[in-house]
Chain A
Amino acid sequence: MSRFVARRLISMLFVMFAVSVITFLIFNVIPNSDPAVRMAGKQPTEVQIEAIRQEWGFDENIFVQYGTTMEKLFTGDMVSYFTQLDVVNEIWKGLPRTLSLAIGAAVIWMLFGVGLGLFTAMRAGKVSDRLLTVLALVGISMPVFWIGALMNHYLGFELSQALGFELFPNGGYVEFAESPLEWLHHLILPWTALSILFIGLYSRVLRGNILDTINEDYVRTARAKGLSERQVLLKHVLRNSMIPIVTLWGLDFAVVIGGGAILTETVFNLQGVGQYAADAIGQLDQPPILAVTMFGAFFVVFFNTIVDVVYAALDPRIRLESGDTA
């Protein structure tokens, strides 16, 4: 096991290094223009550009440039040239908001996704199954920023106007420490909007898995020994059909925190890490985009490694498959 963990960690560091090189290349080498000009944002002065060129060492060779970029990223001395604020600091400020959004939404989409998947699988072929399956497809086909904007407008704004009180708020975020109830109140719509896509996906995957599993020998055995249909379904079928769903859950959760929440945050004005990057795009403000991209990808790699290790601890076959005999 320890050898497996060690190997996964080394591989993680390698991927992180490669990710940082790629991100560096995307921002500083691939585009066909002066990196200092791009770094300076929309309306830079000549003096500013020259200062940035010096500071980032854009006249040095490429390896030195890469070193400077990474150093700035980790020493926290990367500054947005648009707001003059420290980038890493701003990311830390937005992180609790992004985490609140991602964790709540992940719980909701898992519960509803599994519920819907189980329900439709039990009724496979019936009218209710067909209807819900189509509904799941519609959910997968809707862009989150579009449905989110409509929810925010009609439920958060128009409905409040009609009712005279705010059943749902019109965007914004309240710290948990300030008021847990208001925190919840402000996150209900964003959680729902972000969950729709995943509920659709998970219910479809689970429905398919259950229908595949239901014909396995051990399910027939369970039935033959006289278990009730409910017991067969919950103890034997569901438990085995859930394995891929849990894997997906881990991966999707990481991706949502690592950048997937950007659209939801922007639409509902949650001011999280994603919205920080989104605002920077409008200004062509490069340092925040660079930092969020790099940290986002780092987080995904890191989280995937954890998921792998947990899996290996739970299932010895995975360790053995990758040649670890210890």
Chain B
Amino acid sequence: MAPDDVLTASAGDLLGAPGHQTEGDPDDAAVVGGSPWRLAGRRLRRDRGALAFGVLFLLLVGACLAAPLWANEVAHTTVSENHLTDTIEQDGETVNVVGFDGVPIGPTWQGEFFLGADQNGRDNMVRLLYGGRNSLLIGVVAALITTLLGVLIGVLAGYFRGWTDAVLSRAMDILWAFPVILLGIALGTSLALGGLQLGPLSISGDSLAIPIFVIAIVYVPYLARPIRGQVLAMREKEFVEAARAQGMGSWRIMLGEILPNVSSTLLVFFPLLVANAILLEAALSFLGAGVRPPNPSWGTMISEGVDRIVTAPYLAIVPGTMLVLTVLALNVFGDGIRDALDPRAKVRAKQP
């Protein structure tokens, strides 16, 4: 019994699925019989828009990873270095980095202060790249933890049913009842002062681990619920029955038979989870319950920029644009994966 017959079945009747762009595409007929993954891969490769945005995301990640390079080689400063009383040469003139009226220099479009300076005379471009590292790190790690917990809870609840399901599902219902942003704020502010003590693990209040933990927890029900539903339906299928008849234990069935079959759902959800985690980080940081300044993130940068929007609007525009591009790239790429795997599936994750 093929463990992925569920996917094969759905991929099979997807060819020429209603409303899908590739409807009646002669190429599709040629690939019938390929493995579902290869089929999906081929469909994704043909989706130019999704690929373009996937590449854009990789470029953004690459740029943020190269932050130290830009700081050392081009901008000749660090992420936290103040240049309040410094001057730079621009078009042959000497200009203050921060004017006497407290207004920082705008974009110079040259190595130093490429995107201008902030109110403390820090290089905006350098902070943008380092902030992006933090935002992306939080987004990806939080999404990974959410996926881990969501799968664990969803598979256990769906497979064992009964009491396990009752307890886990109720817990998910309760977590789900909180508006995402409020739960994030509540956890974020209460952990900000003293940090968190998890057994031997001690996390201080200004650590990035706090927003990561908070965001990861908040999104768990949005993944655990659909996974549970899938597993509930799947455990009645013949391939699970066959595995049980062969004498496989519950854990082996869950790991070897069930898990591979929810992997396509995870693949669809993951980019959307990262996108929403990045958005929630920004929202929490904007409200002061996320990343703690002076540590930069796109959220804290937007927050500081909005305070000075009248004199230096680029301080809010620049990090916001990077954030929108990143989230947009993830959303379009996620859509592409979904259409490639199952054009009819509808996925909806919550934005704060």
Contact = CB atoms under 8 A, between A and B. Distances in A.
Contacts of A153: 309-310, 313
Interface stretch (B4-12, B58-66, B81-89, B190-198): B190-198
What's the dominant secondary structure at chain A's contact region? helix
A297 B178 contact: yes
A184 to B, nearest CB: 25
A34 B197 CA distance: 13
What's the dominant secondary structure at chain B's contact region? helix
A286 B332 contact: no
Contacts of A289: 185-186, 189
Interface string B323-352: 110011001100100000000101010011
A147 B197 CA distance: 37
B316 A293 contact: no
A23 B179 CA distance: 12
A212 B18 CA distance: 7
A204 to B, nearest CB: 9
B18 A260 contact: no
Nearest to A18: B174
Given A18-B174, A258-B179, A297-B177, 5 more contacts: A34-B194, A150-B316, A267-B306, A293-B182, A297-B179
Which of A33, A153, A304 lies at the interface centre, i.e. has the most chain B CB atoms within 10 A of its CB?
A33
B323 A146 contact: yes
A137 B331 contact: yes
5 contacts: A146-B324, A201-B348, A260-B181, A263-B287, A284-B192
Interface in A108-166: 124-125, 137-138, 140-143, 145-147, 149-150, 153, 157
B185 A277 contact: yes
A34 B317 CA distance: 40
A260 B179 contact: yes
A174 interface: no
Interface in A1-17: 15
B28 interface: no
B282 A143 contact: yes
A37 interface: yes
Nearest to A207: B19
B241 interface: no
Interface of B: 18-19, 21, 170, 173-175, 177-183, 185-187, 189-197, 202, 275, 279, 282-283, 286-289, 302, 306, 309-310, 313, 316-317, 320, 323-324, 327-328, 331-332, 335, 344, 346, 348, 351-352
B170 A31 contact: no
Given A153-B313, A292-B182, A32 B189 contact: no
Given A33-B193, A290-B186, A146 B328 contact: no
B19 A211 contact: yes
A153 B53 CA distance: 30
Contact of B178 (A263, A266, A300): A300
Interface string A250-285: 000001001110110011000000000110011010
A301 interface: yes
A27 B194 CA distance: 11
A105 to B, nearest CB: 15
A38 interface: yes
Contact of B181 (A33, A263, A301): A263
A296 B194 CA distance: 25
A290 B187 CA distance: 10
Nearest to A278: B287
B324 A141 contact: yes
Interface string A279-313: 00110101001101100110011001000000000
Interface range, A side: 35 or more
A215 interface: yes
A87 interface: no
A281 B194 contact: no
Given A33-B193, A212-B19, A263-B352, A143 B181 contact: no
Nearest to B309: A153
A300 B179 contact: yes
Contacts of A38: 190, 193-194
Contacts of B174: 15, 18-19, 22
B302 A143 contact: yes
A23 to B, nearest CB: 7
A146 B25 CA distance: 41
Contacts of B335: 137
Contact of B306 (A26, A138, A149, A281): A149
Contact of A215 (B18, B196, B197, B275): B18
Nearest to B325: A141
Contacts of A106: none
Nearest to B350: A255
A293 B283 contact: no
A197 interface: yes
A267 B303 CA distance: 10
Contacts of B196: 30-32
Contact of B173 (A15, A137, A255): A15
Nearest to A11: B173
A145 B320 CA distance: 10
A153 B302 CA distance: 14
Contacts of B283: 143, 145, 263
B57 to A, nearest CB: 12
B191 A124 contact: no
Which of B177, B178, B197 lies at the interface centre, i.e. has the most chain A CB atoms within 10 A of its CB?
B177
Contacts of A201: 348
A208 interface: yes
Nearest to A289: B189
A141 B182 contact: no
Contacts of B190: 26-27, 30-31, 38, 286
A282 B286 contact: no
B192 A258 contact: no
Given A140-B351, A214-B19, A281 B317 contact: no
